[in-house]
Amino acid sequence: MRTLFYIESLGCAKNQVDSEALIALLEQSGFHYTENIDSAHYIIVNTCGFIESAKQESIDTVLMLKQQYPQKKLLMVGCLVQRYGSELYTELTEVDGFMGNRNLGSIEAVLRDAERGTRPLAVPDDYLDVYDHGNNRSLSFPGSAYVKLAEGCGNNCSYCAIPLIRGPLCSRPLKNIVRQVETLVSSGIHEIIFIAQDLSSYGLDRGSAELVTLIKKVLESRHDFWLRLLYIHPDRFPLPLLNVVRQDPRVLPYFDLPFQHASPVVLRAMGRKGSGEEYLKLVENIRGILPDAVVRSTFLTGFPGESEEDFRMLLDFQEKAGLNWAGVFTYSREEGTAAANYKPRVKKQVARERQAQLQEAQERITARWLDSFPGTERDVLIEERVEKQGMFLARGYFQAPEVDGLVVVNGDEAVPGSIARVRIIKRNGPDLEGVLC
């Protein structure tokens, strides 16, 4: 009888990559992945521990699944276990096994120990690269795949718990990444998405930044594909990258730059070196060289000490930068981080009000930009068919998965995972609507 396992993947795209690696590792060990949780013998929850709400969601999910499927073996893995393994082991007696995220290669042993009823706890400190596994299974929509460049982070922003969870920066070998990308594009994957906590840091743990070198090496491939870059720290943006993007259209002119704030006072408290003026110059530089560039960012409100004047500086920056997309989050006080002890603290209600103000302003900015699309033709990646409605959901180069809007395509002849030419006819909120050309 085949032994089936199901994975519930929570959190960010980096967690998704880990879940994909777990699937590959277990299938190589003779287990079989299923998308039907009812038929699974094992349930694996890949947890997130980034902020308090994510921690609670992870625990709630584990308890809910154990209540729904009391006879199945339940394993808890990932970020939350890496940081709080011993506490979870003691408190969540319902769980049959625990594993952190720095050595995913131990998953088979953990699963087999759980089957024997020994309640394993595996939280190693050493990182093991298990992503170059040659398995093409993806939890993304057809045609798209994430490729992780590095684990951990060395930026040590005062509010961020990532170094506590995933450890210091550990870049994957360049040759492993190039080989993985070539395997993916050779199999028909059209969009490769490079991710890490900070792409610009890739290689620094080996002595020098190697992101541009890596991209040039990847571009030696003869295949036609999109290369999307997510999460580039604005204080370390590699300006030579702009000429690479200009010279090879396969590298999408899409830049995710988490500015977080514009007030120098707040930025210094966050452990960042930049300023609103410097960040504006960076945006202008990008658009000066790449007029079609799309710039996304994230902002954080309610950071300890954020005054009304600081917030006004952020609002002013947002308007002047005219960012195409932006996500806004309120500060989450995380134990073990430097900022957890910072004062004065901003009231949660004030942080939420500032968040709402930034979100409303961004909706107006994004809408003005999207209103320029109707009447133009664009290439989009078809992701999925909307059954019985004669339409597809798709994304252009100007839309990253999950965080940006979509292109709703009317027609019957598209194929998920393929590129289609679409004429945009109107805007619907953050989404666009088009017809197949």
Distance CA 152, CA 156 (A): 10
* 98 phi/psi in degrees, rounded to 5: -135, 145
Q: Is residue 408 part of a domain?
A: yes
Q: Is residue 137 part of a domain?
A: no
CATH number for the domain harbouring residue 180 = 3.80.30.20
Q: Helix axis angle, 107-115 relative to 13-28, nearest 10°?
A: 70
pLDDT at site 132 = 65
Q: Is residue 295 part of a domain?
A: yes
pLDDT at site 205 = 95
Q: Which of 347, 370, 393 is the last residue of a domain?
A: 370
Q: In 271-397, which residue ranges form alpha helices assigned H by DSSP? A: 276-289, 308-321, 348-370
pLDDT (tens place) for every residue of the chain, 437 residues total: 688 999 999 988 888 988 998 998 999 889 999 999 999 999 999 998 877 888 889 999 999 999 999 999 999 999 999 999 899 999 999 999 999 988 888 899 999 999 898 999 998 777 767 666 545 567 888 899 999 999 999 898 999 988 988 889 999 999 999 999 999 999 999 999 999 999 999 999 999 999 999 999 999 999 999 999 999 999 999 999 999 999 999 999 999 999 999 999 999 999 999 999 999 999 999 999 999 999 999 999 999 999 999 999 999 999 999 999 999 999 999 999 999 999 999 999 999 999 999 999 999 999 999 999 999 999 999 999 987 678 999 999 999 999 999 999 998 888 999 999 999 999 999 999 999 98
Q: Is residue 385 part of a domain?
A: yes
Distance CA 283, CA 297 (A): 11
Asked if 198 contacts 149 with a C-beta cutoff of 8 angstroms, the reply is: no
pLDDT at site 2 = 82
Q: Is there a single domain that holds both residue 79 and residue 101?
A: yes
Count of H helices and E strands in the chain? 12, 19
Asked if 161 contacts 114 with a C-beta cutoff of 8 angstroms, the reply is: no
Give the rounded percent of residues in the chain with a pLDDT score beyond 90. Answer: 80
CATH number for the domain harbouring residue 432 = 2.40.50.140
Domain containing residue 398 = 377-436
SS3 of 179, please? Answer: helix
Instruction: Work out the number of other CB atoms within 10 angstroms of the CB of residue 87.
Output: 11
Which whole-number Å values give the CA distances from 295 to 232, 255, 291, 323, in the listed order? Answer: 11, 5, 11, 6
Q: Is residue 129 part of a domain?
A: no
Q: Is there a single domain that holds both residue 364 and residue 260?
A: yes
Q: Which of 370, 401, 423 is the last residue of a domain?
A: 370
Q: Is there a single domain that holds both residue 98 and residue 206?
A: no
Asked if 198 contacts 233 with a C-beta cutoff of 8 angstroms, the reply is: yes
- Exposed / middle / buried, residue 53 (Cβ in 10 Å: 0-12, 13-18, 19+): exposed
Q: What tokens does 366 get? A: 């994004």
Number of domains in the chain: 3
